[in-house]
Structure 1
Amino acid sequence: MGRMMSSLQAGLFLQVVVVLQLLSSQAAAQGSWKLLNKNAGIAAMHAAVTHFDTVIMLDRTNIGPSAIKLPGGRCRKQPLERISKTDCFAHSVMFNPRNGGVRPLFVFTDTWCSSGQFFANGMMVQTGGDFEGNRKIRTLAPCAAGGNCDWTELKEPLAVGRWYSSNQLLPSGIRQIIVGGRAAASYEFYPKRKPGEGAFKLGMLAGTDNLYPFVYLLPNGDLFIFANRNSVQLNWGSGKVVRNYPIIPGNPRNYPSAGSAVLLPLTSQTGFGVAEVMICGGAAAGASRTGNVNAPASASCGRMVVTAGNPKWAMSNMPIRRTMGDMINLPSGDVLIINGAQNGFQGWGKANNPALNPVNYNPTTGRYQVFAKTNIPRLYHSTANLLSDGRILLAGSNTHQFYTYTGKFPTELRVEAFSPPYLQNGNRPAMTGWPRTLKYKQVFVVTFNVPARNGGVEVIMNSAPYVTHTYAQGQRQVKLKTTAPVKAGRGWSVQATAVPGATIAPPSYYIMFLVQNGIPSNGVWVKQNN
């Protein structure tokens, strides 16, 4: 009898172990969340990851006290400031995602709803804002976590005020185009192409639901520009609209409707000549005009090959409807859709029913997968950035005019990281050798170790975008031509070929990943030169 009970107990124990293993496997397949800092000092309205693996975070200045003071008793004395003309609080910080450390930065003019992009040398160029910051240009040459880099305000102004505009690095790597903004149906360049150059009109930017337009550099050097439901191909050199694209079905997609967009990976298999955009979600048509904060957000996504001879939108539906979501090119080649709300639109207190579950989209299969949810709502003025270790950094969310720590959705100062399922895979490759700089068309070798060799291997590069208001400005991913792995000592090596030119990947710093069978290594920073 004792032996029978012992066998029964052993069988039950084995069943419990199997169930626990199954639950653990299911949890790993959904990813995981980790709180990095309970109070970063500011609600990050804007965020960008530097090539030192530090993160520039910005809010706006006309918000009164933040939760972090400027160091050494320093104060900002700004007579044009609307709230605090003498302000001893920081409105920008440098964040260290490795240990959660925060260092205050000094920004002088209002950066509310501004735009930005990195230059080829890694310098952040940050443009526009509101009030006294409307025509300002600011720069920050980034540094490591222990450095003392800070913002510099330039005397040279923008040609017109830019509030809710978008920036795109051009193929030179030393010039950006700044597109749109409130009451600014135009674009301009920084630096100017010639002394006294002004702004250039672009009619499609007039109207509503067209702020923070989606702008992507195409393989031929032209720009794809999308606003509301319309899109064009612009030859920015001549100033001519080369063609108008079909109108995307459904609802408006840009601010304040707050859809999101991504340029799908450019690949060597197509000679880097095929560019496809994907645009998802947004508020219901008319929601922002009528103030309907309960209107269900859109679940629809559209894909269009914008380099095709006869481009058309191919539509699908996300498993979770979403406005104010962010779309991120993951190193696996998938797209992560994260943050936002299921009802309402962009604005102070204009949305509810947070979308707490990220969704993964596989561009090859067209399939969506729901990942593990967070318990921190990320609504208006929140950000999502890819880190070089493969995690996603989430910060911000402030649906109030000032910092407000009460109510249904208090101002959010916590910073967290989402680890996609590929970070729970025990068979992740580890890069052991790679070039620190690249020239176009360069053939180079990457060495790596991996617990078990299986499946295909590819080398990819991701840019470091400036993320704000559901749009990652300058985001792009390129998949390089990569040979089959060969044994190299105790590890492996592959031969890869850099992209053919600057219209595919403008000179800049990129995160390089080695990906085996959809599982990426930790990324490393490389500098793409001319």
Structure 2
Amino acid sequence: MKILGALVVLMLMHSFYDLVDAQGSWQILNRNAGIACMHAAATHYNTLIMLDRTNTGPSQIRLAGGKCRNQPLERILKNDCWAHSVMMNPVSGAVRPLTVQTDTWCSSGQFFDNGMMVQTGGDFEGLRKIRTLKPCPPEGNCDWMELAEPLAKGRWYASNQLLQTGTRQIIVGGRNEPTYEFYPKRRAGEGAYYLSVLDGCCDNLYPFVFLLPNKLLFIFANKDSVSLNWETGKVVRKFPTIPGNPRNYPSAGSAVMLPVSYTTGFTRGEIMVCGGAANGASRTNNVGAACSNNCGRIVATAAAGGWAMENMPIRRCMGDMINMPNGEVLIINGAMNGFQGWGKASNAVLNPVNYNPNAAAGRRFAMWAKTGIPRVYHSTASLLADGRVIVAGSNTHQFYTYTGAFPTELRVEAFSPPYLGANYNAYRPAITGAPIALKYNQVFTMAFTVGVRRGAVTVYQNSAPFTTHSFSQGQRSLHLKTSVPVRAGAGWSMQVTAAPNNSLAPPAWYIFFCVQNGIPSKGKWIKQNN
């Protein structure tokens, strides 16, 4: 009886899948995707856009149909018949070559409301370029287009965030560029705007940028952060400096905004920043310096308050943080020593770590199954609608190098978290009915089936970010209000209330997950309209 009582208590305290010793599993999807994936984004057609730089020389996949890229400004191959971008089918693992004309090295991106990827900046001839790709089904032939319109400033190591219209992005920072600008411009001839938090000598590239529920932007660089009214250009609040080490490139921490929930009236925007290189490591070339093991959380929508710190079970830099389908956070990839750069990392972190933000302090982290493939500098991680995480890339060399420590990595893996284990099939919901598009505050019916009804059922809405250099640009997750499920024929149905406004969910395609007691369904792509 004592054992039974303890089990009941555990079921009340934790998600159902925590009750067994399940750590997830790994599967290699493609042993040679042709390119080392530096940038990645999952599309609403359930394909994966993958990008590398163009100035690596030959990749291992040729452009289709004998096509070649003729780029007189290219520094390696001016006549280049090799692809540096591919579209991947994450079910079959098949890849299709895509064509980029200018260098996308350390560039940025974000989807528009119609699903079109806008990809900005890069190096050398790509520094001020804007590229677009309108995704298509796996059997389609969509490809990159380069726009004639340039960025106002060169953007190398910048970050993008979709704004409330769904048709405009803010592009923040870049090497030697402590400014931000908009695409498309808000008026003819509009330029860039200085922002002091982006200024300084180092560790401030690929700034962490989030659109908060209060309509402001949270912008974090190095150790400092501000909230910015992007419409007026006014800095509304300067936050306390985060304790410890620097967090942005090349120190390579990572960040997420924790799920914004109806339980707090969708008003609480809490940012979590984890890991990064040791103080001064990149400036002194201290490649053996131990990476940080701490994380900080701050409520960026509060009028006051500072960082609440806690420690991860393992130190990490160059990790990726992902909002998962059940409101938790996955920390994956990276190294325990060094910083971002060619040959600057050692002691790869092979174990993903799960973080439950709602658990009691000291019980939030869980170590999951390790991979056999190191993923350090220039690696990516992307959440798919089926609940898996696609992990790709890792190239610590200037060119493709297949020998020595951390050789250029062309393999693509899928990590299946414990909730996808066979033990949970009976408890995993399956969405059988939901709209294809929503308006704000719309109350809609979600129908689902499930083998065994046990525990609370709720809905999470996750964005499709652009992932590069340890930061998923545009990533967000919403915890939506639901009614108590009722029987509906052979299944169940419940009423779900959509997000109330476009500061919470800018118009775009989102993945909606039905979650029973921590076990998510396969996601359904739904278009959020204004």
TM-score scaled by structure 2? 0.95
Query: How far, CA to CA, are the matches of 1:487 and 1:201 in structure 2?
Result: 56
How far has the Cα of 1:311 moved from its partner? 2.1
Distance 1:120 1:466, change over 3 A: same
Alignment partner of 2:28: what SS? strand
Match of 1:35 among 19, 25, 28: 28
CA apart distance, 1:27: 8.6
What is aligned with 1:285?
A: 279
- 5 Å matches for 1:255-404? 255-365=249-359, 366=361, 367-404=364-401
Taking the aligned partners of 1:193 and 1:432, their CA distance within structure 2 comes to: 41
Residue type matched to 2:167 in 1? I
1:127-142 to 2 correspondences below 5 Å? 127-142=120-135
Offset at 1:299?
0.1
Q: Segments of 4+ in structure 1 off by > 2 A?
A: 24-28
Which AA in structure 1 matches 2:500?
P
Following superposition, the deviation at residue 447 of structure 1 comes to 0.7
Quick check: 1:411 aligned with 2:408? Answer: yes
Gap change, CA 1:25 and 1:239, over 3 Å in 2 = closer
Contact 2:178 2:196 in 1 (8 A): yes
**Post-superposition shift, 1:454?**
1.0
Deviations 1:42-75 (A, max 9, x none): 0000000000000000000011000100011110
Distance apart, 1:179 and its partner CA: 0.1
State how far apart, in whole Å, the 2-side matches of 1:121 and 1:97 are. 22
Q: Measure the CA separation in 1 of the matches of 2:115 and 2:376.
A: 29
- Secondary structure in structure 2 of the residue aligned to 1:525: strand
CA distances 1:81-140 after superposition (whole Å, capped 9, x unpaired)? 010000000000000000001000000000000000000000000000000000000000
Distance 1:305 1:419 in 2: 31
Measure the CA separation in 2 of the matches of 1:246 and 1:479.
Answer: 28
1:463 Cα deviation after fit: 0.1
Task: Tell me the amino acid that sits aligned with residue 469 of structure 1.
Answer: H
**Which residue number corresponds to residue 423 of structure 1?**
420
Per the alignment, residue 108 of structure 1 pairs with 101
Q: Do residues 220 (structure 1) and 214 (structure 2) align?
A: yes
- Gapped regions of structure 1 (runs ≥ 5): 1-23
In 2, Cα distance between equivalents of 1:329 and 1:220? 20
Give the 3-state SS of the residue equivalent to 1:157 in structure 2.
coil
Deviation at 1:460, TM superposition (A): 1.1
AA partner of residue 350 (structure 2): L
Query: How far apart are 1:220 and its partner, in Å?
Result: 1.7
Structure 1 residue 84 corresponds to structure 2 residue 77:
yes
In structure 2, the partner of 1:187 is 180
Structure 1 residues 121-161: Cα deviation after superposition (integer angstroms, max 9, x where no partner): 00000000000000000000000100000000000000000
Residue 160 of structure 1 aligns with which residue?
A: 153
**CA contact 2:342–2:397 (8 Å) conserved in 1:** yes
Q: Size of the alignment, in residue pairs?
A: 507
CA distance in 2, matches of 1:183, 1:63: 23
Do the aligned partners of residues 25 and 508 (structure 1) sit closer, same or farther apart at CA in structure 2, a change above 3 Å counting?
closer
Equivalent residues in 2 for 1:68-79 (5 A)? 68-79=61-72
How far residue 26 of structure 1 moved from its aligned partner, in angstroms, is: 9.4
Q: Give the residue type in structure 2 aligned to 1:309.
A: A
Structure-1 separation of matches of 2:81 and 2:258: 43
Q: What does 1:489-508 align with in structure 2 at a 5 Å threshold? A: 489-508=489-508
State the shift of 1:379 in Å.
0.4
**Deviation string for 1:223-248 (max 9, x for gaps)?**
00000000000000000100100000
Q: What TM-score results when the alignment is normalised by the length of structure 1?
A: 0.95
SS at 2:374 equivalent: coil
Q: Which amino acid aligns with 1:43?
A: A
1:205 maps to amino acid: L
User: Cα distance 1:28–1:423, how it changes in 2: closer, same or farther (>3 A)?
Assistant: farther
Conserved? CA contact 2:326–2:460, under 8 Å: no
C-alpha root-mean-square deviation of aligned residues, in Å? 1.1
- Tell me, in whole angstroms, the C-alpha distance in 1 between the residues paired with 2:214 and 2:274: 25
Query: Which of the pair has more CA radius of gyration?
Result: 1
- Could you tell me how far apart the structure 2 residues matched to 1:410 and 1:237 are? 45
Q: Which runs of 5+ in 2 are unaligned?
A: 1-16
Counterpart Cα distance in 1 of 2:86 and 2:305: 43
